[in-house]
Structure 1
Amino acid sequence: MNVFYEESGSFKVGSIVSRSDASLQVDTQHGKRAKLKSANVFLEFSSPLADFLPSVDNLAEDIDLDFLWECSPDDEFAYQELAADYFGHAPSAAEAAALISRLHGAPMYFYKKGKGRYKKAPQEALQAALAGVERKKREQEQIDGWVGELKAGALPEAIRSQLMTLLWRPDKNTLEYKAFDQAARELNLAPLRLAEKVGGIPSVPAYLMAGFLMEYFPKGAGFGKYAPPEALPELPLAEVQAFSIDDANTTEIDDALSLTPLANGNTRVGIHIAAPTLGVPVDSDIEKMVLSRLSTAYFPGDKITMLPDDVVAAFTLQEGRACPAFSLYAEVTPAFEPVAFENRIELVPIAANLRHAQLERVFNEETLANDPGTDYPFKRELTWLWQFAEALEKRRGKYDPTRPAQHDYNIDVADGKVSITIRKRGAPMDKLVSELMILANSEWGRMLAEADIPAMYRAQSMGKVRMTTRPEPHIGLGVAQYAWSTSPLRRASDFVNQRQLAAMIRGEKPLYEQGNAMLFAILRDFDATYGAYLSFQDKMEHYWCLKYLVQEGINEPTATIIKEDLVRIDGLPLRLRIPGLPELNRGDRVQLALVRVDELMQEVELRYTGRLEQVAEAKEDGEA
């Protein structure tokens, strides 16, 4: 005797070897011995084992599900009852098995209620389920069509419009994702490679920018509608002629300087900082913008400003205007020792916006060491301020003329071509500005702390930089506290600190008092966002450095060892790890060979060919 039974959701047959009250031993049609629970057996039959399932399958195919559903009772039923009604006679074992198989395989039509018992689905539920099946069928047809196009090298318009989302923040439930993912797997390509293959990547910078905007500017980089700044309060006019020092592309001019001789032989140095907070009320549209964007995002060739152009234009320290500013005046002795400080909120006449490219030609280490006698605007003031800056650097304990020169890099992009220029860090105009900004940030931080007004400070200890609302030392700068306050047009931290400074100067209650939860929240958000913006800038600079290697045909770059296998490519702000480097010392120069550059994946492979001195000696020997 043979049995028809269910196991793991499917129907099988076997020949009975032995049986007990609760179980059976059977030999399956494949010759294996199995133990079954009696409760899993639906029926017994005597026809040949090998012919039974094919016969059942043929009979089941002829059973029309819609007709079967229509002739089923509304109440729960046993399969034997329905089989007798359907076939019009007591069903054979094969007919009964075919009906069970059909009922069991149609869960949309019939709900399983127990062994061999079923209940027909309500009409509404059945129609909804069938509609779902039809929808999925159409969706799969759409997916298959898109996959075919992608594999043929075409990019369907529906996927093109979603491509950057698919690459950066995919919703795996969408048809577009399913098609794109399926095509990538079938072609054995990474998604980004497939996007390139079908022409979906206009450029690597555009691809990187799309991901950045999606993450940090999901509504776009535009500003939308906002109420303009309010009219400024009446302010006294400062009796100075101030000037700023910035590169040619700077529009957010936050800081300017002035110099005034005093009757007692001392000099008054003015550090003047743009004052957007004077025209931006608390909880206004513009302040919400500041606390949303948190910083200007910089990257080669462009930037996304924290404030709209018209707001920047209203408060930037533009030459030829008297601009609202927070001024820190330092009285300095002839020995360059600050002896007194004074704060003012005022209108500051800006006489000039000096630009790096023009100024560096006449104001540099060489002209300061050996003055050629050439005159230029603010020469006396610049020379005195440079001397003061060196005194401030010594005062911080950071002056070290023997320290190896470090460099900053300017990366400019025009029409897809990149240029990279080097500027020595610590050049006179850079040191002049940086030292005076350090002075302002540290002194304003000290004053806020003494007034028990919290602010957003940068602190450094144990080599780690962090943000805090209380004054703590910044070991790297050599100051007791450092409150970012000198870039309120570009950083939310400085904007917030300016509000706190205004309260201190005016003797008013500060917007944020000690322990204010909102200040902590702003600090946390700013720190995370500022770090993310810097990371994006590094990523873009990395790409343009790779582009520069290819553009300039640099196949044998040289590099300087930083540590272990980490090197800095000479002439570029590019740090890379070179596998297989021998043991070398920090500062050693090495010769490398460019193996490949993959701009899309931002990968570069370099091979070590020798220490620079050894390579040079080998070339000389070869020539000899």
Structure 2
Amino acid sequence: MNVFYEEEGIFKVGTILADNTTSLQVEAPHGKRAKIKAASVLLRFDAPSPSELMDIAQKMAEDLDPNFLWECCESEAEFASDALATDYFGHIASSEEAAAVLIRLHSAPMYFYKKGRGRYKAAPSKALEAALASQERKRLQAEQQARYVQLLGAFALPEEFRPSLFNLLYRPDKNTVEWKALDAVCTSAKLSVPGLLEKCGAIPSTHDYHVNRFLLEHFPEGTDFGALDARGELHDAVDLPLADVTAFSIDDATTTEIDDAFSVTPLTLGSFRIGIHIAVPTLGIAPGSLLDVAAAQRLSTVYLPGSKITMLPEVVIHHYTLGEERLCPAVSMYIDVADDFTVIATTSRIERVKVAANLRHDVLEERFNEHTLATGSLDHPFGKALLALWKFACKMEAVRGKTNDSNNEKIDYSFHVEDDRITISERRRGSPIDKVVSELMIYVNTEWGKQLADSGIAGIYRSQGGGKVRMGTSPAPHQGLGVSQYAWISSPMRRYVDFINQRQLVALLRKETPPYTRDSDSLRISMRDFEAAYEVYGDFQRRMERYWCLRWLLQENINTTGAQVIKENLVKLDHLPLVARITSLPELSPETAVEVEISQIDLLELTFHAKFLRKLDA
């Protein structure tokens, strides 16, 4: 006796060796023996042989039309497979016929729902219609996906991909046919999705690829200010007193948000009054106003080579920037210094300041540098003022105990993009221009931070201890700067923390109630959000600087270049803020000059390969 039985959803046949009522010992056609439950048996038969029955039943099942079988069933009632086989064949079904019907029922779950051993129920017509439609969709999608894979494998972009390229690059739906095709080809070709799409010509600008990814995550509604009309919140400043000084600013050539300017007024007996004048947009932007909300969302200007995303609308920047030949509202700190540049007294007030000139680094540095300072005379319209500021800056640096600051030996890099070409220039940090600006900013931020603290007015401070910089609402020493407290206040058009602190300072000077208290939720939320945004924006700026460094290497066709060992297998390329890890680098001491080979520059992944060539003479 033979049996046709079901085991774990699979039909099998075998010859009975022992029948123990509830279980059977059977031998499969290939000789393997097994113990099965009697309840698993669907058919018992003497002939043909088990293997013949299975072959015949499977061939017969292929010829059975599941749709016709379904039409033969009562839609509401369960039925036994052997009963359906009898109805279908018009006679009591043979073992082969009964097995064929079972196989066909089991292989058509859309048509027949299994209800028990050998028992089924026909699917409702609507459910069957939906299942068949779904099956057809899947078939068409599989054909479509196969076509996509073929095209992508040949680095040709399917036309259907063009409307969804943005989503495929930045926020893919991994259930779509397009993504599945992309993923399959990327896996076989060992490429990233951006890498494959670039080979298909779908990424015309690697620069825009990186920028758009950042914008999608952090500026999903775009970089403009929409329908925000900022003109109604601009303060005309006509009610402010006019300062009796002539001020000038010192900035990079591309700076439009000019936050600070300086003035020097001679006093008696060789003393001076140094003025530090800071743009004051807080005069016209009330807490909670639409413009304030917009600035609080951005929190900082985002900088990248060749472009920037401003914290405030251009109309606001133009109104409050300390532009040349303009009367500008400013909050000013006046520092009276003796002939040895010791500070005698400081006063602060809100006023209008005449800005006579916006001096730019690239032009000013030709006349204001270490060489011209050594002569003691600066050939410049503001030469005397610059010389006085230089001496004051040196004095303040000494007061902070930072005269041998190692930062003075570091290099800053400027990126200038024009007509899609990059120019990268080096400037030694700690130049006279840098020292003047940085020392005056350190002084004004330190002093105004002290005034807020002494007056019991809340502010956001930056502190440093143990090499870690922190932000908090309580003043604390900044060891890196060598000051007792430090509050960012000098860049209110570029950083929202400065904007908040300036609001508090303006309230102090006007003897008004400050907008924020130390326990204010909005103060702590803004501080927390600013820290997160500032880190993200800084990472993006560094990423885009790396991009333009790689672009410069390609632009200048640089294959070999000098580098300097930092430590172990880490080197810094000459003339670029670009660091590489070289596995082939021999053991060399830091600052050793080497020559390296550059290859495999990838502007999408922002990677390149550097190979050690030789050690250079010092």
State the TM-score, normalized to the length of structure 1. 0.92
> What CA deviation, in whole Å up to 9, does each residue of 1:55-77 have, x standing for no partner?
22222223322232233221333
TM-fit CA distance, 1:316:
1.1
TM-fit CA distance, 1:166:
2.0
Contact kept, 8 Å, 2:369 with 2:433, in 1: the verdict is: yes
Q: Report 1:158-177 matches (<5 A).
A: 158-177=160-179
Aligned: 1:605 with 2:605: no
Residue 545 and residue 92 in structure 1: after superposition, are their counterparts in 2 closer, same or farther (change >3 A)?
same
Contact kept, 8 Å, 2:262 with 2:274, in 1: the verdict is: yes
| Residue equivalent to 2:192 | 190
| Residue equivalent to 2:496 | 492
Contact kept, 8 Å, 1:164 with 1:211, in 2: the verdict is: no
Deviates more, 1:381-390 or 1:340-349: 340-349
TM-fit CA distance, 1:515:
2.5
CA distance in 1, matches of 2:38, 2:347: 97
| Residue equivalent to 1:509 | 513
Contact kept, 8 Å, 2:477 with 2:484, in 1: the verdict is: yes
Deviates more, 1:239-248 or 1:138-147: 138-147
TM-fit CA distance, 1:404:
6.6
CA distance in 2, matches of 1:518, 1:81: 77
Aligned: 1:454 with 2:455: no
| Residue equivalent to 1:300 | 305
Contact kept, 8 Å, 2:234 with 2:316, in 1: the verdict is: no
| Residue equivalent to 1:115 | 117
CA distance in 1, matches of 2:35, 2:390: 94
Residue 564 and residue 64 in structure 1: after superposition, are their counterparts in 2 closer, same or farther (change >3 A)?
same
Which residue identity does 1:64 align to in structure 2?
Answer: D
Aligned: 1:396 with 2:397: no
CA distance in 1, matches of 2:51, 2:314: 83
Contact kept, 8 Å, 2:372 with 2:378, in 1: the verdict is: no
Residue 57 and residue 452 in structure 1: after superposition, are their counterparts in 2 closer, same or farther (change >3 A)?
farther
Residue 572 and residue 182 in structure 1: after superposition, are their counterparts in 2 closer, same or farther (change >3 A)?
same
The alignment partner of 2:409 has SS state of coil
| Residue equivalent to 1:157 | 159
Q: Report 1:356-395 matches (<5 A).
A: 356-371=361-376, 375-395=379-399
Aligned: 1:576 with 2:580: yes
Deviates more, 1:174-183 or 1:486-495: 174-183
Structure 2 residue corresponding to 1:85, chosen from 84, 87, 97: 87
| Residue equivalent to 1:258 | 263
CA distance in 1, matches of 2:10, 2:406: 82
Structure 2 residue corresponding to 1:480, chosen from 477, 481, 484: 484
* Structure 2 segments unaligned to the other structure (5+ residues): none
State the TM-score, normalized to the length of structure 2. 0.93
The alignment partner of 2:365 has SS state of helix
TM-fit CA distance, 1:264:
7.2
The sequence identity of aligned pairs, in percent, is 51
Residue 242 and residue 23 in structure 1: after superposition, are their counterparts in 2 closer, same or farther (change >3 A)?
farther
CA distance in 2, matches of 1:330, 1:556: 52
> What CA deviation, in whole Å up to 9, does each residue of 1:496-530 have, x standing for no partner?
22222223333333322222233222222221221
| Residue equivalent to 2:16 | 16
Q: Report 1:584-603 matches (<5 A).
A: 584-603=588-607
TM-fit CA distance, 1:479:
1.8
The alignment partner of 2:341 has SS state of coil
Contact kept, 8 Å, 1:164 with 1:207, in 2: the verdict is: no
Which residue identity does 2:560 align to in structure 1?
Answer: E
Q: Report 1:323-342 matches (<5 A).
A: 323-342=328-347
Residue 404 and residue 487 in structure 1: after superposition, are their counterparts in 2 closer, same or farther (change >3 A)?
closer
CA distance in 1, matches of 2:557, 2:426: 19
Aligned: 1:442 with 2:440: no
Deviates more, 1:209-218 or 1:112-121: 112-121
TM-fit CA distance, 1:265:
5.5
CA distance in 2, matches of 1:336, 1:183: 70
Q: CA RMSD in A?
A: 2.3
Which residue identity does 1:290 align to in structure 2?
Answer: A
TM-fit CA distance, 1:448:
2.1
TM-fit CA distance, 1:134:
2.1
Structure 1 residue corresponding to 2:545, chosen from 541, 544, 553: 541
Which residue identity does 2:111 align to in structure 1?
Answer: Y
> What CA deviation, in whole Å up to 9, does each residue of 1:360-412 have, x standing for no partner?
111111100124x5632211111101111111111111111787721111122
The alignment partner of 2:230 has SS state of coil
CA distance in 1, matches of 2:192, 2:402: 49
Residue 441 and residue 8 in structure 1: after superposition, are their counterparts in 2 closer, same or farther (change >3 A)?
farther
Aligned: 1:430 with 2:434: yes
> What is the number of equivalent residue pairs in this alignment?
613
The alignment partner of 1:362 has SS state of coil
> What CA deviation, in whole Å up to 9, does each residue of 1:450-469 have, x standing for no partner?
23333232222222223222
| Residue equivalent to 2:2 | 2
CA distance in 2, matches of 1:222, 1:231: 18
Contact kept, 8 Å, 2:269 with 2:339, in 1: the verdict is: no
| Residue equivalent to 2:70 | 69
Contact kept, 8 Å, 2:230 with 2:313, in 1: the verdict is: no
Contact kept, 8 Å, 2:408 with 2:431, in 1: the verdict is: no
CA distance in 1, matches of 2:132, 2:420: 54
Residue 54 and residue 307 in structure 1: after superposition, are their counterparts in 2 closer, same or farther (change >3 A)?
farther
CA distance in 2, matches of 1:76, 1:449: 85
Aligned: 1:560 with 2:526: no
